[in-house]
Amino acid sequence: MADQSTNYQCPACTGPLHFVGSSGKLECDYCGSSFSVEEVEKLYAEKNDAAAANAGKDGGWGEGSEGMKTYSCPSCGAEMITDGNTAATCCPYCGNQTVMPGQFEGALKPEYIIPFKNDKKAAIDALKAHYKGKFLLPKSFVSGNHIDDIQGVYVPFWLFDGKAEGSMKFDARKVHTSKHGDMETTTTEYYEADREGSLEFEKIPVDASTRMPDEHMDSIEPYDYSELKPFSMAYMPGFLADKYDVEVKDCRNRMEERSKMSLEAAIDNTVTGYSSKSVMTKDLNVEVDKAHYALMPVWLLATKWRDQSFLFAMNGQSGKLIGDLPMDKGKFGGVFAVVSLVLIILMNLIFSRSMEGFGYFFVCFLLPLIIAGIVCMVLRSQLKSVHTGNADAYISGGGLKLSRSDDVYIRTEKQTRKVNKN
């Protein structure tokens, strides 16, 4: 089998090197030596070129195993079998980190990489902190939940530059209420608000690996692009990595969706001074300028509790960790019951003598139930941190540029009713 892989060994003792985010250097656990990325690049340039040149010549695809590749470990010579997208892995026999340079050659070579800044301990500590302050989280989850697997992975991303532009039309209303004696008059002014504008975006990230859950990758953003580095395989020792398996054209839809979400919200925020508003029509479009290929650092933590699997992801640069948590249904029902009961008692003490009919029923019974439901939903939302993200963090060019902003008065309606003086 051809030698299609390489690993990074310490020039001083031949022990394995791994990249350490806190120092920004490759370090050896055996002798304590450390080397800069530039030094390691220079030392291993010839070996990487040879490994990349050999890739695919002999036994590149495992016979009878469609979609799998076989490599020989440069340290122990054992045969490693990986899927076709793996670009950096760990030898299951000797434990040394192995890089497949051929996966990052030619059109597959990324433009940029953001190196890991956080280590495995930081990821575990962040997971423990993620459990705190969640009232509806079952106590047994914290004590009985265990980590099945934790991996630092360089995830492939397409970073899109582009522009979103469009128009929106709103039905907007101004409502005024006045009282004269026992008569109350509600005046409603109707307007049609037209807006047209555009937003420019720079490097909206969309993960390009089918193995990565899109919403998890959205939720750990944003990344600090001031720390983007020109791609180098010297950042990889100690971590796993994949090459992209989702083409840029297939990621475009998610970029457009996120851009439109940001544009719609930005335009909506310009319609102010009204009591209420609703969207009547909208026409939003996105143009893509270019896409950059980059690798981003992600810690993936897989845990298990009561035969259920939970996936958590942490931004390997910022340390932001996300992952949905289970809910204690008993606590949920208890909170609802206690809050409802307390509010019903208080409302009855305050309003029982001053209100009657439906107004009394609503304030003293329905309203407490509504408030209790809101409290429970707020507590439940603390358990949910995975979501589809917009593109607000990647807006460039000074923000929203409005090309039209018209508010046209339509009509006025008045309604008068008799009210109880009490």
List, for residues 121-169, the tens digit of each pLDDT value: 999 999 999 999 999 999 999 888 889 889 999 999 999 999 999 999 9
Q: What does the alpha-carbon distance between residue 82 and residue 60 come to, in Å, rounded to a whole number?
A: 11
The pLDDT, as a whole number, for residue 5 is 52
Q: Which residues of the chain have pLDDT under 50?
A: 1-3, 56-66, 93
**DSSP 3-state helix, strand, coil percentages of the chain (rounded to 5)?**
30, 40, 30
The pLDDT, as a whole number, for residue 103 is 72
The pLDDT, as a whole number, for residue 419 is 77
The pLDDT, as a whole number, for residue 59 is 42
Q: What does the alpha-carbon distance between residue 54 and residue 102 come to, in Å, rounded to a whole number?
A: 8
How does strand 276-305 pair with strand 112-113?
Answer: parallel
The pLDDT, as a whole number, for residue 296 is 96
The pLDDT, as a whole number, for residue 85 is 64
The pLDDT, as a whole number, for residue 18 is 87
Q: Indicate the length of the chain as a whole number.
A: 422
The pLDDT, as a whole number, for residue 421 is 59
The pLDDT, as a whole number, for residue 253 is 94
Q: What does the alpha-carbon distance between residue 357 and residue 351 come to, in Å, rounded to a whole number?
A: 12
The pLDDT, as a whole number, for residue 339 is 97
Judge contact between 396 and 147, C-beta under 8 A.
no
Residue identified by tokens 């304590």 is 32
Residues 2-48: tens digit of each pLDDT = 335 567 888 888 888 889 998 999 999 889 899 999 988 888 776 65
Please tell me whether the peptide bond between 222 and the residue prior to it is cis, using omega within 30 degrees of 0. Answer: yes
Q: How many of the other CB atoms lie within 10 Å of CB of 166? A: 18
Q: What does the alpha-carbon distance between residue 20 and residue 26 come to, in Å, rounded to a whole number?
A: 6
Beta bridge partners of 23: none
Q: How much of the chain exceeds pLDDT 70, in percent?
A: 84
The pLDDT, as a whole number, for residue 145 is 85
Judge contact between 213 and 162, C-beta under 8 A.
no
Structure tokens at 90: 């760990």
